[in-house]
Amino acid sequence: MATMQKNKKTVVLGMSGGVDSSVAAVLLLREGYDVRGVYMKNWSKDLPSMRCPWARDLADAKRTAVRLGLPFEVWDFEEEYRKSVVDYMLTAYADGETPNPDVMCNQMIKFDAFARKAFASGADYIATGHYARVSDNGELMMARDAKKDQTYFLCRVSSDVLRRTLFPVGELLKTEVKEIAASEGLDAINKKESMGVCFVGEANIKEFLREFLPAEAITTGRVVDIDSGEVMGYHDGQLFYTIGQRHGLYLTSDLPYYVVVKNVNDSDIFVTHNLNHPNLWTRELLLKNVHNISGLDLESGKYFIRVRHQAPLVEATFDAVDKKIIFADDQKMVASGQTVAFYSASTDGVCLGGGIVSSDGNSTK
Amino acid sequence: MINLDNAAAARLDAKALEAMLPYLTGDEYLNPSAAYLPALAVARKYEAAKNQIASLVNASGNNLIMTSGATEANNLALSAARGFAGSAVLVSPFEHPSVVASAAHGCGSVEVLRATPDGFVDLTDLAAHVTDETVLVSVALTSGDLGTIQPIREISEIIHRTRQERIKRDLRMPIWLHVDASQGLEVLEVNIARLGADMLTLNSGKLHGPKGVGALFVAPAMGINLTPLIYGGGQEAGMRSGTENVAGVMGFAEAVRQIAKHRKATFRQLQEYKTELRAALVESFGAGVVFLGNPKKQLVSHLPISFPDYDAERLIFALENSGILVSTGSACAARKNEVSPALRAIGATDEVIAGSLRISLSSENSCREIPRIISALRLALTDENRAI
C-alpha cells in the first residue's frame, strides 16, 4: 500500500463549485491520481446587489470535495487578483476599452499564481475544469466538444504551465460530463453552468464599475443617431457601452440600434440603425500585447482567428511587424480591449496565443 | 432523513394546515375588511385567532400586530427607538440580524452587550451601559445558536428601575425592552406580564405554523410609538397595512393551540432525547466533543456542540450524505461564511467555532435516531474534514 501511495502523481485541482471541475475530480480519482481540491478565493468583497458572491461557490466546491473524500483547501489570491485582473479591468474600462477579465484571470491567476503555488507545494500537475486539451509537447488544443471549447479564454497562458496541466473534461462532451455528474450524485450540487466568469456576471459589471471607478470616470450623455443627428435617448455612462452593442439602449425608437462611435473625450454615444454602417465592420485589427503560448514570438503568416468565445474560426493574415490582423472577409467590429485568439492554419485545433485589440486606429474606419 | 436543524425550519403542523384551508379554498376566503356579513364572520375568526396566538404568552390579541414574519416584527419594534435626539440602543450578542441590522438604521448609537462564557447576557455589563440616552434594549428570549435562556426578568427589572429613576429625575426619555421570542416557545411557557417585556416578537414558522407569519406584541400604555414599515389601507391599527393574511394567521393560531396542548409531552420527549444524545456523544467521542452553553438554562430542544479543529461546514456536508441535516451557528451566518457573533461573544476559541454544530430538535425527533447520528458522525470525522 505504502509504495502504491508513493507512485501516485499528485494533482491540485482548481474546484469552482461548478459541474465541470467536479467531474474533473471524479475523472482524476478514476485515473488513480492523488487529488487535492483547492478553491481559489479571488474576490470576497460584497457588491451592492451581491452579498458574498463567493460563499455559494465555495460551499458547492467544498461539498463536492467532502462527497468525493478529497482533501480541500481555500487558497487566497485576492491580492494578486486585485492587482492583475481588477485593476487591469478598471483601467481598461476607464480608457474606453472592453476588457476580458476571464482571459486575464486565466493568464495571471489560474495558470500562474495558482499553478506556481501548486507546484511549490509539491504537486506534479494542476488541473481545472476547462474544456481544452494539451498535446504531448505542451500545445493548447481545442476540446473534443467543439461547442464547449474554452481555448479562447486560455489563449494567453504559457506552455511551461500547460505541460503540467490536466484538463480532464477536455476529452468529453458536455452531455457525457453531465452523465458522469448524475451517476456520481453530483448533479444536485453543481446545478449551475460554469460560465467561466471570474466573479461578476455581465449583469453586474455596471454596478461593479460604479463601485470601483471614481464618479468622474462615468460620463453620462446623449445617445445620438449618427446618420440623422437626432437625439435618440440618454445613457448612464459611456464606458458601459461597446461598439456593436445592440441591447441595453434606452431609446425613442423601437427599431434595433447599434453603438457605432463612443469617444472618451465626448460624452455622446453614436448609434445607427444601419447594420451595414462601416463602423460596425472591419477588415483589420491592430493588436497589442500579442502573446504566444510557446513563449516565442508569433510569426507573420496565415492563421485562424477567433474574436470571441464560441465565435467561428476565420481566416486571416497576421503582420507581426505592425501587429495587425488582416481578415480574408469583413468581420463584425471587435471592441478595443477584447482578446483575439490565434489558431494554427496548418494543424487542426491548436491554439497558439492571443492578442488584445488596441484602441489605436480601430475605433473608426 | 433526520432533521437536527428544526430551529431553521419546522414542518407545518397537519392540523394547522387543516385550519388554513377554509380560508384558502373554502368559503371563508373573503376579505375581513369587506362590509357584508360573511366577511365580518371572517374578521371575527381572525380576531379570535389573534387572541389564540397571544395566549402563547398570556397576552391579548388586541396588542398584537400581525406581520410577514419575525424579521418584520423585529424591524417594526426597532422603529420605536427612532426619532429621539442622541438616543442609544443596547442589543444582546444573541440577536438575529434583523434586530442588529435594523438598529443600525436611524436608531442612534448601537452597542452590543457582553456575554458570559456560559451563554447569557452579562447583567453587570447591561447595568453599566444603560445611560440616560438608552431608549431601547433588545434581548432575544433564547440564543439562537446556544439555546441558552436569557435572564429576561432580571433585565426587565433593571429597565423598570431605570424607568422609575428617570421619572423621579423628571427625565422624559423613555426606555423599553424588546424581546425576540422567535425561538423557544415550543418548550418554554412564557407569561408576558411576569417577563416584563414591552415588545415581543413571535414567529409562526418556528412553531410548526406557516412560514411568512409573525407578530409583534406591543404593551399598551407604555407610550410606545411605532412607525409603520408599510402604509396603505390601515389594517392592524394602521401599523401594518395590507389585506390580512387570514389563512396564515389561522394556521399560526392552530399551531399555537397544538404547541400548548403538547408542550409538557414535547418537553419530556426532547429532554430524554437530549440527555441520551449527549451521553452517546460523550461515550463515542470523549474529550473530542465540546458542549456549548450552560445546560441548566438551555432549551431542551437545543444541543450546541463542537468538534474542535474540524471544519463544521465539511461535517455538515458529510452528515447530509448520511441523511442528517444540521447547521453551524445560525443558518444565515453559515451562508455568509461569517463566524457566529454569539460564539465569539462567549469567548469560544477559533478551533471551537470552526467545528461548531447546532443541533436543534422538535417534537418530530425520536430517540431511535441517535445510533444513526453517532455512526454518521464517526464517518464524518475524517482527517479530510479537519479545518486547515
The average pLDDT across A264-275 equals: 87
Counting every residue, how long is chain B?
388
**How many beta-carbon pairs under 8 angstroms link A with B?**
35
Q: Which of B313, B318, B388 lies at the smallest CB-CB distance from A59?
A: B313
At the topology level, CATH places domain A280-357 in Elongation Factor Tu (Ef-tu); domain 3 (2.40.30)
**Backbone conformation region of residue B116, classed left if phi is above 0, alpha if psi is from -120 to 50, else beta:** beta
The average pLDDT across B98-125 equals: 95
pLDDT-above-70 percentage for chain A: 91
Predicted confidence at residue A4, as pLDDT, reads 46
Alpha carbons B267 and B273: distance in angstroms, whole number: 10
Q: Are strands A221-225 and A269-272 parallel, antiparallel or unpaired?
A: parallel
Q: Do B317 and A70 touch (CB under 8 A)?
A: no
Which of B130, B337, B56 lies closest to A60 in space, CA to CA?
Answer: B337
The average pLDDT across B339-348 equals: 90
B chain contacts of residue A62, beta-carbon cutoff 8 Å: 313-314, 317
Q: Any chain A CB within 8 A of the CB of B328? A: no
Rg for chain B, CA atoms, rounded? 22
Tell me which of A187-196, B37-46, B126-135, B355-364 is least confident: A187-196
- Tell me if ipTM is over 0.85: no
- The per-residue pLDDT of chain B, averaged, comes to 94
Question: Which residues of chain A does CATH 3.40.50.620 include?
Answer: 2-204
Alpha carbons B350 and A79: distance in angstroms, whole number: 24
B7: closest CA of chain A, how far (Å)? 21
Ordered strands of the A231-235 beta sheet: A231-235, A221-225, A269-272, A258-262
Q: Any chain B CB within 8 A of the CB of A111? A: no
The average pLDDT across A255-273 equals: 87
The domains of chain B, with CATH numbers, are: 2-8+263-385 (3.90.1150.10), 14-257 (3.40.640.10)
A chain contacts of residue B335, beta-carbon cutoff 8 Å: 52, 55-56, 59
B chain contacts of residue A59, beta-carbon cutoff 8 Å: 313, 335
Task: Report whether pLDDT(A193) > 70.
Answer: no
Closest-CA residue of chain B to A64: B317
Q: Do B335 and A55 touch (CB under 8 A)?
A: yes
Q: Any chain B CB within 8 A of the CB of A36? A: no
Residue A248: DSSP 8-state: T
Task: Report whether pLDDT(B54) > 80.
Answer: yes
Closest-CA residue of chain B to A70: B384
Q: Do B335 and A70 touch (CB under 8 A)?
A: no
B378: closest CA of chain A, how far (Å)? 14
C-alpha cell at A76: 487566497
Q: Which of B320, B337, B388 lies at the smallest CB-CB distance from A58?
A: B337
Task: Report whether pLDDT(A264) > 90.
Answer: no
Please, what CATH class does the domain formed by A2-204 belong to? Answer: alpha beta
User: What residues pair up with B218 in beta bridges, in sequence order?
Assistant: B199
C-alpha cell at A223: 445617445
Higher pLDDT, B274 or A17: B274
Task: Report whether pLDDT(A106) > 60.
Answer: yes
Count of CB atoms situated within 10 Å of the CB of B335 = 15
Predicted confidence at residue A205, as pLDDT, reads 77
Which of B319, B317, B333, B339 lies closest to A62 in space, CA to CA?
Answer: B317
Residue at B348: amino acid letter? A
Q: Which of A52, A66, A73 lies at the smallest CB-CB distance from B336?
A: A52
Residue with cell 357584508: B36
The 3 state secondary structure assigned to chain B is CEECECCCCCCCCHHHHHHHHHHCCCCCCCCCCCCCHHHHHHHHHHHHHHHHHHHHHCCCHHHEEEECCHHHHHHHHHHHHCCCCCCEEEECCCCCHHHHHHHCCCCCEEEECCECCCCCECHHHHHHHCCCCEEEEEEECECCCCCEECCHHHHHHHHHHHHHHHHHCCCCCCCEEEEECCCCCCCCCCCHHHHCCCEEEEECHHHCCCCCCEEEEECCCCCCCCCCCCCCCCCHHHCCCCCCCHHHHHHHHHHHHHHHHHHHHHHHHHHHHHHHHHHHHHHHHHHHCEECCCHHHECCCEEEEECCCECHHHHHHHHHHCCEECECCCHHHHHCCCCCHHHHHCCCCHHHHHCEEEEECCCCCCHHHHHHHHHHHHHHCCHHHECC
Counting every residue, how long is chain A?
365
Task: Report whether pLDDT(B62) > 70.
Answer: yes
The average pLDDT across B207-225 equals: 96
Predicted confidence at residue A197, as pLDDT, reads 46
Spell A265-291 as b/e; 16+ CB within 10 A means b: eeebbbbbbeeebebbbbebbbbeebb
Quick one: how far is CA A81 from the chain centroid? 14
Residue B302 to residues B4, B143, B267, B331, Cα–Cα distance (Å): 9, 10, 12, 14
Maximal C-alpha separation, chain A: 79
Q: Any chain B CB within 8 A of the CB of A179? A: no
Q: Any chain B CB within 8 A of the CB of A62? A: yes
**8 Å CB contact between B98 and B75:** yes
**8 Å CB contact between A115 and A11:** no
**8 Å CB contact between A324 and A285:** yes
Closest-CA residue of chain A to B321: A67
A chain contacts of residue B385, beta-carbon cutoff 8 Å: 66
Tell me which of A202-211, A215-224, A236-245, B364-373 is least confident: A202-211
Closest-CA residue of chain B to A185: B321
Q: Do A52 and B337 touch (CB under 8 A)?
A: yes
Q: Could you read off the pLDDT of B190-201 as tens digits, one per residue?
A: 999 999 999 999
Q: Do B314 and A67 touch (CB under 8 A)?
A: no
CATH 2.40.50.100 holds for A219-272: no
Task: Report whether pLDDT(B24) > 70.
Answer: yes
Q: Any chain A CB within 8 A of the CB of B314? A: yes
A chain contacts of residue B317, beta-carbon cutoff 8 Å: 62-63, 66-67
Alpha carbons A344 and B57: distance in angstroms, whole number: 77
A64: closest CA of chain B, how far (Å)? 9
The average pLDDT across B255-262 equals: 97
Backbone φ and ψ of B377, nearest 5°: -65, -40
Q: Do B317 and A66 touch (CB under 8 A)?
A: yes
The average pLDDT across B153-170 equals: 96
Task: Report whether pLDDT(A363) > 60.
Answer: no
Residue with cell 507546484: A119
B chain contacts of residue A56, beta-carbon cutoff 8 Å: 335
Tell me which of A45-59, A88-102, A236-250, A282-296 is least confident: A45-59
**8 Å CB contact between A351 and A343:** yes
Which chain B residues in 248-287 lie under 8 Å from chain A, judged by CB atoms?
Answer: none
Q: What amino acid positions of A are annotated as catalytic residues?
A: 105, 198
Q: Any chain B CB within 8 A of the CB of A76? A: no
Alpha carbons A129 and A11: distance in angstroms, whole number: 13
Q: Which of B229, B332, B334, B339 is catalytic?
A: B332
B230, with CB counted inside 10 A (0-12, 13-18, 19+), is middle
Backbone φ and ψ of A131, nearest 5°: -85, 95
Quick one: how far is CA B6 from the chain centroid? 12
